[in-house]
Chains A and B, each alone.
Chain A
Amino acid sequence: MGKQKLSSKGVQNSGCTKATLWWFYLVAACIKVLLFPSYRSTDFEVHRNWLAVTHSLPLSQWYFDETSPWTLDYPPFFAHFEHFLSMFAHLIDPKIVHLQEGLNYSANTVVYFQRGTVILSDLCLLYGVYRLTRNLDSRKQKLIWLSAIWSPMLFIVDHVHFQYNGFLIGILLISLSYLEEGRDLLGGFFFAVLLCLKHLFAVAAPVYFVYLLRHYCRGGIGRGFTRLLIMGGMVAAVFAAAFGPFFHLGQIQVIRRLFPFGRGLCHAYWAPNFWVFYIMSDKGLAFILRRLGFNVQTPTATFTAGLVGDSSPFSVLPQVTPLVTFMMVLLALSPCLLKAWKDPKPQMISRWVAYAYTCGFLFGWHVHEKASLHFVIPLAIVAVQTLEDAKHYFLLSIVSCYSLFPLLFEAQEYPIKVLLLLLHLILMWSGFSAQFPDGAETARAPTGHHTEKKVDQHKSNGGFVIGWIERMYLVGLVIVEIWGQFLHPLLLGDKLAFAPLMLISIYCALGIMYSWIWQLTFIVKSP
């Protein structure tokens, strides 16, 4: 390795940094390749079908085709992305992109091809992380790379279950990196592109709007207005490029496909969000009221089910509609929007956007547990800034990763998901411990109500030490897992089969609610 000498913190050779970054990516890619034969969800067939639809049919038919139940329900840019991929798929194995013959095609060619495209599209994430961390000091960089590029959640969702989140989150990170550099137009551009790739990211649109309005369009009425026009024009151009061709053909169908509000409040496996508590309270109240003699109607629909289905039955508490969830998300976002309005600081934008996605996750309609990726990865970027950030991120990433475990329910993936989480845990713990050793700087702002000790800036805070409440909570996670995996089948067999999943949802929801409160407090109390 050559001779050793002391170097000052500032000396960084960017060539070596890039080489190290590539090393991170390649090590992850090796594991991802090994995961090729692992369990694939129906999302795999969904994307294969989209390859077939975009390849075999003209543009006008993309959002109308119903050969397969897995119809296109992402915005047009993603359809174009699939179209681009399908050109290579056709070269490798034409059956992949055949509309009828390719249905449920599961030969090695299609598996290797699709899994390979996910790995390659992760280059986008790599670039996003690179842009965001290139000006940080080396140790913080490596910690962030570890948390983002080697995120166990991405392995589980993208490379086993099968999705393209790495690619999309990469674009989000690229957008954030431009905003942090002060290049708002490009930041806005990439965000608009992201919205046309997956509309779920629109939850952060209010934050972007307020921030760009106040930061980009400042400096007097004239200049501000001109800039507003530029930004608005640019966003409109992006949307026009995406949706224009379809609206030109008179296809409002696209919008209907993008927003299937026929689905229920919760996905069949409840995402660990606020509605879990709402549902449990409803059930609890119904139970109590029935005991007290009131006549409470039993709802016809049920929450339990192993398959995706509609579910929105409330016997006691008021019904929740998509509009209600929308209002609640906006309400939760409002303190953040106020802060952004008052003082749009570039260095806070990542936190605000992560907070927006947290609110969307907690209060949104038909949220999938996978959506937790949208706020966990951006939070990884800010996790190294202060000790309290690190502690919060440590807890959040473990809880979110654990909440994804039900996605991989087959036995052969069990050791893999557990090992991914454990490895992540120990890497973060040792990394953060070294980054924030005993006597390091304490948090700038007070923390949420769950943290244990009073952090006094004049005293040593004992470094990266998890408080006893958090420790109990993490131990509880282990207990929940042991119960769900081993004790429940042993003691109760097939009875109450939904109970372990429900328990995981509720328990993880506690952790994510805590994260939301912590983030909110941090944002409100930041200067």
Chain B
Amino acid sequence: MVKGKETSYTVSVVDGDGNQCCWWWWWLEHKGTTTTFLIVGLFVVLVRAAVSLHSYSGFANPPKFGDYEAQRHWMEITINLPIQEWYRNNTSNDLSYWGLDYPPLTAYQSFIHGLFLGFVHPESVSLVTSRGHESYLGKLLMRWTVLSFDLLIFFPAVLYFVIVRYGQPSRSRKSDIGWHIAMLLLNPCLILIDHGHFQVCSVLTLTVICVVFQYNCISLGFTIGAVAGVLSGKDLVACVLYCLALNHKQVLISDLSMVTLLHMSAYFVPAFFSHLLGKCLRHKHPLFEVSKLGFYVLGTFAAVWWPYLYSKDSILEVLSRLAPFERGIFEDYVANFWCASSIIIKWKRLFTSESLRLLSLIATVITCLPSIDQ
């Protein structure tokens, strides 16, 4: 071995006690971010594939089953009914049985997946008769739909974010990149929610692993992409991506306990748009910039909501599904202020549903104000 070259490979990260740490990345220091990403990515996909082996929410649990059945039902609805009927209550689309309550982008995603399932395993998505359908092949295909969109949307978003965030890293930052990628991709909440099964069981025992079946990776991927867009200065890209995230999932889903990460696309709105708006106002021609921003936002929303824009009624129909305020200010055991304080202050007894809605809106806006202002 050439002596001169040898020293360049003996750089190791050592802590105060002289212990060798971060050995893990010594060989990745020779490769780029992409190799790191590939290795972590493969490992992370392996974890997801392994979690997918486990049971899903609502397994063998009639009559309503769980989120798995909800997603399957949406595929059934979207491929068998015309687009205008998706949010409308009728005999084939009983909204009380897992009616669509996410914005149209989720519906389009269900449609694409429904086509795939319909092609390979038609009985799992046939209209009405497939309710409660559970099979080995069905589960496999459903799991693969989640994994495929995870890979298509979430992973590239994380890679984009990391590349933008770290730019051209020095040697010491490369290990940071690796850990950061791992932290983003290995988020246990996301894996459990998306790739595991759905219902929250009241007792977490050794024999039951309760995880969820959802597609949060898509909206989270768009959100991360939007953050990356902001970091790299591509505000309009960020704006479009964030609008897509909003159009996929709009609200805090409070019916999941033991899980703290969910996606709260709408709650990011004040932060996102105040940042973008602030940037626009600093430009030389603020009005032009704001209208460009507005144009992109409106354009994205219009593109997604296009099939429903023909009448005010249809828009309201969809909107009413998206804002299920009749569910109450909190549900089950969500880890937030209202639920925790309800031990002392019985909110649901003291106030009506409408006043609680207003109260929570005011509280959220007030607490967001510092970040909006910044």
Q: Do A and B bind each other?
A: yes
User: How near does chain A come to B208, taking the closest CB pair, in angstroms?
Assistant: 8
User: How near does chain A come to B323, taking the closest CB pair, in angstroms?
Assistant: 37
- Residues of B within 8 Å of A415, CB to CB, are 45, 49, 147
**Count, chain B residues at interface, CB 8 A:** 50
| Interchain CB contact under 8 A, A11 and B18 | yes
List residues of A (1-58) whose CB comes within 8 Å of B's CBs.
Answer: 1-9, 11-13, 15-17, 20, 31, 34-38
| Interchain CB contact under 8 A, B13 and A4 | yes
| Interchain CB contact under 8 A, A419 and B46 | yes
| Interchain CB contact under 8 A, A434 and B10 | no
- Residues of A within 8 Å of B137, CB to CB, are 411
B287 sits at the interface (CB 8 A): no
B366 sits at the interface (CB 8 A): no
User: How near does chain A come to B314, taking the closest CB pair, in angstroms?
Assistant: 40
| Interchain CB contact under 8 A, A31 and B50 | yes
- In the bound assembly, the distance between CA atoms of A8 and B11 in angstroms comes to 8
B21 sits at the interface (CB 8 A): yes
- In the bound assembly, the distance between CA atoms of A57 and B23 in angstroms comes to 51
- Residues of A within 8 Å of B47, CB to CB, are 31, 34
A412 sits at the interface (CB 8 A): yes
User: How near does chain B come to A386, taking the closest CB pair, in angstroms?
Assistant: 12
Q: B202-234 toward A: CB 8 Å interface, digit per residue (1/0)?
A: 000011000000000000000000000000000
Given contacts A34-B47, A440-B1, contact A430 B39 (CB under 8 A): yes
| Interchain CB contact under 8 A, B1 and A8 | no
| Interchain CB contact under 8 A, A426 and B5 | no
- Residues of B within 8 Å of A35, CB to CB, are 50, 53
| Interchain CB contact under 8 A, B18 and A3 | no
| Interchain CB contact under 8 A, A31 and B46 | yes
The one of A7, A11, A435 in contact with B27, judged by C-beta atoms closer than 8 angstroms, is A435
| Interchain CB contact under 8 A, B46 and A9 | no
- In the bound assembly, the distance between CA atoms of A1 and B15 in angstroms comes to 6
- Residues of B within 8 Å of A6, CB to CB, are 10-12
| Interchain CB contact under 8 A, A112 and B206 | yes
The one of B10, B11, B16, B207 in contact with A2, judged by C-beta atoms closer than 8 angstroms, is B16
The one of A4, A20, A430 in contact with B23, judged by C-beta atoms closer than 8 angstroms, is A20
B54 sits at the interface (CB 8 A): yes
User: How near does chain A come to B32, taking the closest CB pair, in angstroms?
Assistant: 11
List residues of B (1-26) whose CB comes within 8 Å of A's CBs.
Answer: 1-2, 5, 9-24, 26
A139 sits at the interface (CB 8 A): yes
| Interchain CB contact under 8 A, A2 and B15 | yes
List residues of B (123-147) whose CB comes within 8 Å of A's CBs.
Answer: 136-137, 139-140, 143, 147
How many A-B pairs with Cβ below 8 Å? 125
A475 sits at the interface (CB 8 A): no
| Interchain CB contact under 8 A, A427 and B30 | no
| Interchain CB contact under 8 A, A16 and B42 | no
| Interchain CB contact under 8 A, B15 and A416 | no
B43 sits at the interface (CB 8 A): yes
- In the bound assembly, the distance between CA atoms of A480 and B248 in angstroms comes to 41
B38 sits at the interface (CB 8 A): yes
A308 sits at the interface (CB 8 A): no
- Residues of A within 8 Å of B45, CB to CB, are 415, 419
| Interchain CB contact under 8 A, A7 and B52 | no
- In the bound assembly, the distance between CA atoms of A109 and B53 in angstroms comes to 17
B51 sits at the interface (CB 8 A): yes
- In the bound assembly, the distance between CA atoms of A20 and B12 in angstroms comes to 15
A422 sits at the interface (CB 8 A): yes
| Interchain CB contact under 8 A, A423 and B43 | yes
- Residues of A within 8 Å of B17, CB to CB, are 13
Range of interface residues on A (Cβ < 8 Å): 35 or more
Shortest Cβ distance from B35 into A: residue: A430
- Residues of A within 8 Å of B30, CB to CB, are 430, 433-434, 437
Given contacts A1-B21, A423-B39, A434-B30, contact A34 B53 (CB under 8 A): yes
The one of B10, B18, B53 in contact with A37, judged by C-beta atoms closer than 8 angstroms, is B53
| Interchain CB contact under 8 A, A439 and B23 | no
User: How near does chain B come to A427, taking the closest CB pair, in angstroms?
Assistant: 6
Which among A1, A11, A416, A431 has the greatest number of chain B C-beta atoms within 10 A?
A: A1
A138 sits at the interface (CB 8 A): yes
- In the bound assembly, the distance between CA atoms of A444 and B34 in angstroms comes to 34
Shortest Cβ distance from A150 into B: residue: B43
| Interchain CB contact under 8 A, A416 and B23 | no
User: How near does chain A come to B362, taking the closest CB pair, in angstroms?
Assistant: 43
The one of A16, A426, A433 in contact with B19, judged by C-beta atoms closer than 8 angstroms, is A16
B339 sits at the interface (CB 8 A): no
| Interchain CB contact under 8 A, B49 and A4 | no
List residues of A (419-474) whose CB comes within 8 Å of B's CBs.
Answer: 419-420, 422-423, 426-427, 430-431, 433-435, 437, 439-441
Shortest Cβ distance from A35 into B: residue: B50
The one of A36, A38, A138 in contact with B20, judged by C-beta atoms closer than 8 angstroms, is A138
| Interchain CB contact under 8 A, B42 and A426 | yes
User: How near does chain B come to A115, taking the closest CB pair, in angstroms?
Assistant: 12
A142 sits at the interface (CB 8 A): yes
Q: Which residues of A contact B (CB under 8 A)?
A: 1-9, 11-13, 15-17, 20, 31, 34-38, 108-109, 112, 138-139, 142, 411-412, 415-416, 419-420, 422-423, 426-427, 430-431, 433-435, 437, 439-441
- A-B contacts, 28 of them at CB < 8 A, read A1-B22, A2-B14, A2-B21, A3-B16, A4-B14, A6-B11, A12-B20, A13-B20, A16-B21, A20-B23, A34-B47, A36-B53, A37-B53, A108-B207, A139-B26, A411-B137, A411-B140, A415-B49, A415-B147, A416-B49, A416-B50, A416-B53, A419-B42, A419-B45, A422-B42, A434-B30, A437-B30, A440-B1
Q: A7-B14, A412-B52 are in contact. List 12 more A-B contacts (CB 8 A).
A: A4-B172, A6-B10, A34-B50, A35-B50, A109-B207, A112-B206, A112-B207, A142-B23, A416-B46, A430-B31, A433-B30, A437-B30
Chain A to chain B: the 7 pairs with minimum beta-carbon distance, closest first: A2-B15, A434-B27, A34-B50, A16-B19, A419-B46, A415-B49, A108-B207
